[in-house]
Chain A
Amino acid sequence: MDTLIIDGLSFALPLFIMAIGGIYSERAGITNLALEGLQGFGAFFGALWAVVFSHFFNIPIQKLFYFALLLAMVGGMLFSILHALLCIKFKANQVISGVVINILSMALTVFLTTQINSLVFGALSDKFQIGTSVRFTVPVLSKIPVLGAAFKNLYPFEIVILVIAIIAAYVLNKTRFGLRLRACGDNPHSVDAAGVEVFRVQFKAVLISGALSGLGGISYAYSISTNFSPSIYMGYGYLAIAALIFGNWKILPTLGACLLFGFARSGGYILGQMLEMPSTFSDLIMTLPYVLTLLLLIFFSKSNRPPRALGEIYDKGKR
């Protein structure tokens, strides 16, 4: 039971922060399929600087944890500029731009990782080893029966994600910036009429989504693998998009969707162990989150309403 909650949370929360990034971008009217590439590039960027710093300044790599998180956000944001430019300045098809960015991100990071490994460290490897992150347990709260497991063996990034998620939810729903952002996705003309630059708001939204995706990506690099490698492109970004559409572009329901993915995944693993099934059956169990999502979507999709101006770049002259 404990592992169910612990593993479920550590999978769900990075997904959640990526999905929030997606919500920011999509509520502002910019379709963002690039989450996958952004999280990968963010993880690459964070891991790269962590490795470089620990190599040249002899700092143990575990100490660079928060530094890596921060730089992953910077990296994701830098790469998301490309998506913003393509969609907003060059008026490219947003879906296509997203896919192109995913392809480019994967190609570029794999190329740079092998290149930097051979040039700087003299090693033939497509990975940056960043070590595992330390885990901690909250003293009193973890004693609560059942639910206490949520406070056991936490990764530090889970706390970071939660804090940022709360701030993000507040900004999106309660501030003037959030209101304008949401209006950009539903009725950009009203934003323009209020004297606010639509493109500027959208640009910021995409950058935020880049930063949050980068954070999600490096969290996976720290938890699921202990390195940055091409295996980071496992489709987490696409899963986050599924979660946010499932969550109807709202933050709280999206959290629910992410938790569903996380718990279905960890639950499946535990189920496989309990029934002592041969390891090949684990593949069948892995489908659980996805089958569940499809079934739930059949019941809940009717009321799904994407932002009205999603995917359409704002055109002043259009009515």
Chain B
Amino acid sequence: MSEKNMDKRKGNTFNRVILKLLGNEKWQHLTIPIFLIFLSFIAASIIILSLGKNPLGAFYNLLQGAGILPKPSYAGYKSMLTDFLSLLNYMTPMIFASLAVAIALKGGLFNIGVSGQMLLAGFFATILIGYSELNWVIAKPLVLLIGIIAGGILGGLIGFLKYKFNINEVVSSIMFNYIIQYVLSFFIHSYYIDPVSRQSKYINDAARLTLVNVELINLKMDISIGFVIAIILAIVLKQFFDKSRIGFEIKAVGANSKGAKYAGINVGKTMILTMVLSGIFSGLAGVTYYLGYFASIQPKTLPSVGFDGIAVALLGNTNPYGIIGASFIISIIDRGSTYMSSMAGVRKEIASVITGMILLFSACSAYIQYRIRAKKDSLAFMAGREAEE
């Protein structure tokens, strides 16, 4: 066999392995993201290696820091379980924010204002309930309700401006992001500031959506109520888009608004509804962030979760279950990075570079899918020809 043929054969086996792993279309929505995450970690390994550090050790520390693998030693009242619970606590606003982005994307809209909606919802819930003396039985549901209302109204307003005045939702959300950020910073600085921490005053624990320092089996853990709600709502949302008429209408408008109009769907109304729904989830992200993960608001700062949510929604393929998985992975990288940098001596900032690369690769997932199909077709064609010969 000539050398050229050998090379060809070798290339073919590589292709076959890839095809074998990724080719099954039924599992592609799982295998391709995993493949992409694998690729990003390889790329990150190269960076870490070039800095003269051991990448495998660093990744191991990453998992330890996030509470997936046990650390060699723990402080008092801490264990792997408490680390894992704080991971879930951290992850909750991210799930909500990504679901908010996903809802808008399904309806053909781009909600870049999740951060602003989060801040608004968090602010109102903080001043109305967080500083009140209400009993927790009333306070916690009210916090959720206020989050839903504040987020929903702002989302709806963005949708309304698009429907009524043809204002591009990207522009109006960006403007609202700035306005909310500055106006709320004014109110926090004027009325609610804690002079020591330079943040808003801490809220009462009764209103918090995370039960902090719960003592159980000799551990102090943070239990996120929001996480349970997030999982339930993700399941509901999946059913909503798969089974309900309104869910179908939202998807139809997103896929082809003209076609939807001919089919008799009220496009304007559906658009506003999409944004209200997206805003509601942003609001929930806001209250679980400011009244759950944190207990105060940092003025003049938009939560970066709102922007990360865009990318997580994409990594999860706008599928609610996919989003839960994607949030889990991104949260592990975020949460584990501090421990990794202290143990392995790799800079903490590498974590966001890894995240960025995962997102970069996942933006190409449709292309990979397309290439795999093309490859499969050509292989099938070749096999057919060989059989003929």
Binding site for B on A (CB under 8 A): 33, 82, 86, 89-93, 95-97, 99-104, 106-108, 110-111, 114-115, 235, 238-239, 241-242, 245-246, 280-281, 283-284, 286-287, 290-291, 293-294, 297-298, 301-302, 304, 306
Q: Are A103's CB and B356's CB within 8 A?
A: yes
Residues of B within 8 A of A304 (CB): 166, 168
Q: Which among B55-63, B82-90, B320-328, B347-355 touches the partner chain?
A: B347-355
Interface size of B by Cβ–Cβ distance < 8 Å?
44
Given contacts A90-B363, A291-B175, 15 further A-B contacts (CB under 8 A): A99-B310, A103-B356, A235-B177, A238-B112, A283-B183, A283-B189, A283-B300, A284-B186, A287-B178, A291-B179, A297-B161, A298-B161, A298-B165, A304-B168, A306-B168
Q: Which residues of B contact A (CB under 8 A)?
A: 51, 110, 112, 161, 165-168, 170-172, 174-179, 182-183, 185-186, 189-190, 300, 307-308, 310-311, 314, 347, 349-350, 352-353, 355-357, 359-360, 363-364, 366-367, 370
> Chain A binding site: helix, strand, loop or mixed by DSSP?
helix
CA distance A238 to B161 in the complex (A): 19
A185 to B63, CA, bound (A): 46
Instruction: Give every chain A residue within 8 A of B178 (Cβ-Cβ).
Output: 235, 286-287, 290
Decide if B165 touches A100 in the complex (CB within 8 Å): no
Report whether A110 and B352 are in contact in the complex, using a CB–CB cutoff of 8 Å.
Answer: yes
CB pairs A–B below 8 angstroms (16 shown) = A86-B364, A89-B367, A91-B366, A92-B367, A99-B311, A101-B360, A103-B355, A104-B353, A108-B356, A111-B353, A287-B178, A287-B183, A290-B178, A294-B175, A297-B161, A304-B166
In the complex, the answer to whether A294 meets B349 with C-beta atoms within 8 Å is no
Interface pair B308/A287, CB less than 8 Å apart = no
Instruction: Return the 10 tightest CB-CB contacts between A and B, nearest first.
Output: A104-B356, A107-B352, A111-B349, A283-B186, A92-B363, A90-B367, A90-B364, A107-B356, A280-B189, A290-B178
The residue on B at minimum CB distance from A285 is B182
- Alpha-carbon gap, A108 to B370, bound state (A): 29
CA distance A78 to B186 in the complex (A): 40
In angstroms, Cα B364 to Cα A97, docked, is 9
Q: Provide the residues of chain A in CB contact with B189, threshold 8 Å.
A: 280, 283
CB atoms of B359 and A100 under 8 A apart:
yes
Chain A neighbourhood of B190, CB < 8 A: 280
From the candidates B175, B179, B300, B355, name the one contacting A242 in the complex (CB within 8 A).
Answer: B175
Q: Taking CB as reference atom, which chain B residue is nearest A230? A: B349
Are A103 and B171 also in contact (CB < 8 A) when A110-B349, A114-B349, A283-B182 are?
no
Smallest CB separation, A304 vs chain B (Å): 6
List of B residues within 8 angstroms of A281 by Cβ: 186
Asked if B367 contacts A91 (CB within 8 A), the reply is yes
Q: Are A283 and B185 in contact (CB under 8 A)?
A: yes
A-chain residues with CB within 8 Å of residue B350 when the two chains form the complex: 111
Residue numbers in B under 8 Å from A297 (CB-CB)? 161, 165, 167, 171-172
Nearest chain B CB to A319 CB, angstrom units? 15
Q: Which residue on chain A has the smallest CB distance to residue B186?
A: A283
Measured between beta carbons, the chain B residues less than 8 angstroms from A103 are 307-308, 311, 352, 355-356, 359
When distances are taken between beta carbons in the complex, the residues of chain A under 8 Å from B174 are 235, 238-239, 241-242
In the complex, A96 Cα to B359 Cα: how many Å? 9
Candidates A101, A287, A301; contact of B166 at CB < 8 Å: A301
B170 touches A241 (CB 8 A): yes
Q: Which of A82, A99, A104, A290 contacts B307 (CB 8 A)?
A: A99
Contact A302 B165 (CB under 8 A): yes
Take A96-B314, A239-B174 as given contacts and tell me if A111 and B363 are in contact as well, using a CB distance cutoff of 8 Å.
no
